[in-house]
Amino acid sequence: MKDQFYSYIENLQDTITSELEKVDGKAKFQEDLWKRAEGGGGRTRVIEDGAIFEKGGVNISKVHGELPEALRKQFKVETGNFFACGLSLVLHPINPFIPTVHANWRYFEMYNEKGEIVTQWFGGGQDLTPYYLFDEDAIHFHTVCKQACDTYHPDFYPKYKETCDTYFWNAHRNEARGLGGLFFDYLKETEDFTMQDRYNFVTEVGNSFLESYVPIVNKRKEHTYNQEHKDWQEVRRGRYVEFNLVHDRGTLFGLKTNGRIESILMSLPPKVQWKYNHHPEKGSEEARLLEVLTKPKDWV
């Protein structure tokens, strides 16, 4: 399973970066191959200063070795080895009318002293973070997510949509990071689903990513904007940074387990503002976005 999934994310990284370069039309992804001293490594690809994308990354990694202390505590074991691989991406467009997007698909195995698998699971999802709200964009993104889920089970979309709304929540601000999408974790073998079923589902979601996002980019990329729009985008990017550094499990896990710092912080936008006690004008488009972020809604 680990070889099957790693081969999949290698190909998916190629597909996504190739398509995004076409969409941008100017910048190319720079590749950075790295190794982890404890075992494994990754292939980081970053795009910067493009015609569309101010900054973005589409990274894959596979790491293995002895369980870090943080994981031993989490799983309540004294010893053990693990393998983990995944693809993680974040795209921060220049135009404030194009939303930021994040996605991640990953696989994990843990072994006993004999090298036998004692647990394994898939996780992942994708979510949309706009700065200006276009209802049709939210509907499109969630519709593609729902279609990918409905192929496997009618309960998947509502369940993983709700999990996403709950997870990407800036509790200290009492608001969502964005408009959500899908989030699932610890997808294990059950009476109803084999690990191959889980693989098929997660790859279906991964394969749907470009269809969920690229049409939105193409629809909004010619939208004119001014400095006020950029200022609002950068204020909202500050909330994105807050979530990633305060709440995000992947970021915190990487920081606690001697992860590669450049890959961990790749998700952060290049330009951000924090304005003291900032509130948009009542009745403005900015205020309308905040209303939706304080109470997640059903888009499809």
How confident is the model at residue 249, as a pLDDT?
A: 87
Both tokens assigned to 16: 């996504």
95 within 8 A of 225, measured Cβ to Cβ: yes
State the catalytic residues: 102
**pTM value?**
0.96
Distance CA(121)–CA(186), nearest Å, equals 5
Distance CA(166)–CA(29), nearest Å, equals 32
Domains defined along the chain, listed by start: 2-293 (3.40.1500.10)
3-state secondary structure 120-170: EEEEEEEEEECCCCCHHHHHHHHHHHHHHHHCCCCCHHHHHHHHHHHHCEE
81 within 8 A of 110, measured Cβ to Cβ: yes
How confident is the model at residue 256, as a pLDDT?
A: 78
How confident is the model at residue 15, as a pLDDT?
A: 98
How confident is the model at residue 248, as a pLDDT?
A: 92
Q: Which residues pair with 215 in a beta bridge?
A: none
Q: Kindly provide the b/e burial profile for residues 94-124, where b requires at least 16 CB atoms within 10 angstroms of the residue's own CB.
A: bbbbbbbbbbbbbbbbbbeeeeeeeebbbbb
How confident is the model at residue 194, as a pLDDT?
A: 97
pLDDT digits (tens, 9 = 90+) for 195-248: 999 999 999 999 999 999 999 999 999 999 999 999 999 999 999 999 999 999
How confident is the model at residue 259, as a pLDDT?
A: 80
Distance CA(209)–CA(228), nearest Å, equals 30
Of 126, 144, 125, 121, give the one whose Cα is nearest residue 193.
Answer: 121
For the chain, which ranges sit under pLDDT 50? Answer: none
**Which pairs count as long-range contacts for 198-204, CB under 8 Å and 24+ apart, including other chains?**
198/121, 198/122, 199/1, 199/4, 199/5, 199/122, 200/152, 201/122, 201/149, 201/151, 201/152, 201/156, 202/5, 202/105, 202/107, 202/122, 202/124, 203/8, 203/105, 204/148, 204/151, 204/152
